[in-house]
Amino acid sequence: MATSKKLLFLPLTLLLGASLVLGGCQAAKKPEPKNTGNIPSPTSQTNPNTQKATNPNQAYPRHIADKVVNEANKVQGVRGSAAVVSGKNVYLGLDLNANLEKSKSAQVEKNVLNRVKKLVPGYTVTVTSDVDIVTRIKRVSQGIAQGKTIASFNKELQEISNRLKPRSK
């Protein structure tokens, strides 16, 4: 009788051990956080230009830069714009209409600044129409759009930051 119990006990033990090893515990998948603000999360966008998870720029807030550019382009006197987001700083370069006077261009910059500040609270927004700085901002923005990391533009961003004085927070 003792050997029959051993024969029954051995396969049951092996079966239990194998099921624990093969079935094992798996890490629970955390649910995606719900978006409570008016700024979409990078993972909730359906834009075909959205960064893929394998892209090193996946943490780059492209949606913020796009929102800022779209808002700036709505202001009268702005022909085009480019934006770069670095940390909590937004650098916005404006391509203004060619026939604007110097005083009018300062007013256009101020109008853009006020609109963008309301759009992205919590960011330090810097607006410029200086051709050299706008060219630098466009170069960085295009590089990021091509998949380069924001870190690869640290020197360029430092130069932009040094040349600009933030006008508001």
How high is the pLDDT of residue 99? 82
How high is the pLDDT of residue 162? 85
pLDDT by residue (tens digit) across 28-74? 555 665 554 444 444 444 433 333 334 445 578 888 999 999 999 99
Cα→Cα distances 53→29, 36, 42, 135, 167, Å: 17, 22, 10, 29, 35
- CA dihedral sign, ordered 42, 39, 138, 161: negative
Contacts of 77 (CB under 8 A, 6+ apart): 96, 97, 100, 104, 105, 108
Q: Which domain holds residue 94?
A: 62-163
Residue 145 has pLDDT above 80, yes or no: yes
- Residue at 133 is within a domain: yes
How high is the pLDDT of residue 106? 85
* Token pair listed for 140: 């960085």
Q: Which residue has the tokens 């209409």?
A: 97
Give 31's DSSP letter: P
- Residue at 30 is within a domain: no
Mean pLDDT highest for which of 92-101, 113-122, 157-166?
Answer: 113-122
Q: What is the DSSP string of 43-111?
A: TT---TTSPPTTSTTTTS-HHHHHHHHHHHHTSTTEEEEEEEEETTEEEEEEEE-TT--HHHHHHHHHH
How high is the pLDDT of residue 47? 39
Contact indicator for 134, 95 with CB cutoff of 8 Å: yes
- Residue at 157 is within a domain: yes
CATH number of the domain that residue 81 is part of: 3.30.70.1350
- Residue at 134 is within a domain: yes
pTM over the 0.85 mark: no
Contact indicator for 118, 38 with CB cutoff of 8 Å: no
- Residue at 113 is within a domain: yes
- Residue at 41 is within a domain: no
How high is the pLDDT of residue 152? 87
- Residue at 105 is within a domain: yes
- Residue at 153 is within a domain: yes
Pairing status of strand 78-86 against strand 89-96: antiparallel
How high is the pLDDT of residue 113? 92
Which percentage of the chain shows pLDDT scores above 90?
Answer: 25
How high is the pLDDT of residue 138? 93
How many structural domains comprise the chain? 1
pLDDT by residue (tens digit) across 80-108? 999 999 889 999 999 988 887 777 888 88
Question: Which helix or strand (DSSP H or E) is residue 124 part of?
Answer: strand 124-128
